[in-house]
Amino acid sequence: MSRCSYLPLLAQQLSSVLDATVEPGDIWFDFRGEPLRWHYPIGILYDLHSLQDSKVNSPLPWSLTVHTQNFPTEKLLRRPSMETVQDMFMSMIKEVQYSVLPETDYNSDEYVKEKADFLRHGTTKRVMNLSKRDQTQLWESVASDKFDDYWNVNKRLLETTASQPLRNIPLRLYLPEQCPVIQELVPADEIVSDPARSLGEVVSKILPDLFSPTLTENIAIPVIHGISLPLDTPIIWAAENLSFADNFLHIVISKA
């Protein structure tokens, strides 16, 4: 499975080889007893759960436990259908294009199912101008791991022009111990004035206790796509090269 894929897509495959009475939405997964949130990309789940303690680094392939009953609705969003997963993914795509609503609760898991307003370019036109066919292709290419089909559509969402410049770099930070997800924007004008603005500068502003320049040694490291990134990595480079399929820069904060 691709790092940008989702567990319900794996559940759909498993349902075809399991008992015929098992519905894909009844299947859920855990790692070391912890239910895995199906609305996170698989790559984020792996980094978040298997890289936090070097003593228990999980080898590949990642070993998970599959369950077909007792869905933990108190910990996971209710049984997902393929339509729910697709809607969730498109909501994230739209959120990147739109702008943040002040009253939005970013710490809520339900948030990923809602359609917020402009984030990256400050306009709804790019997403709204996508045909139904393009929107379907965008999701199906992620589901089937067909990068060229995905990029043929997604590149149109990321293009910048003089009239529609980049406004923000949207990022989400994931911490261990059941901490809520932190969602932030890096304003583009900060990057224009400082093209070398680093990942370390960004995360130290958001999490000063973990990434303060005054610390004598690192106590945390940013991980993206399983890579421990140097703190001097330019944030614009990271956004252009390491964003996930939903166009967010998802960063897992791991113990150093």
Query: 67 is written with which tokens?
Result: 């369950």
Q: What is the pLDDT of residues 205-223, one digit of tens each?
A: 999 999 988 887 888 999 9
Task: For residues 40 and 88, give the distance between their C-alpha atoms in angstroms, rounded to a whole number.
Answer: 10
Show me where the domains of the chain are located. 7-67, 81-164, 166-256
Q: What is the CATH number of domain 166-256?
A: 3.10.20.90
Q: Which CATH number fits domain 7-67: 3.10.20.620, 2.40.37.10, 2.60.40.650, 1.10.240.10?
A: 3.10.20.620
Task: For residues 239 and 45, give the distance between their C-alpha atoms in angstroms, rounded to a whole number.
Answer: 19
Task: For residues 108 and 72, give the distance between their C-alpha atoms in angstroms, rounded to a whole number.
Answer: 17
Q: What is the CATH number of domain 81-164?
A: 1.10.246.190
* More confident position, 195 or 208: 208
* Radius of gyration of the chain, Cα coordinates, nearest whole angstrom: 19
What secondary structure letter does DSSP report for 243? -
Of residues 242, 217, 220, the one with CA closest to residue 44: 242
Bin 12: left if φ > 0, else alpha if -120 < ψ < 50, else beta: alpha
What secondary structure letter does DSSP report for 251? E
Q: What is the pLDDT of residues 105-161, one digit of tens each?
A: 434 443 332 333 356 666 667 777 889 999 999 999 999 999 999 999 999 888 877
Task: For residues 97 and 202, give the distance between their C-alpha atoms in angstroms, rounded to a whole number.
Answer: 21
Same fold across 7-67 and 166-256: yes
Confidence of residue 240 (pLDDT cuts 50, 70, 90): very high
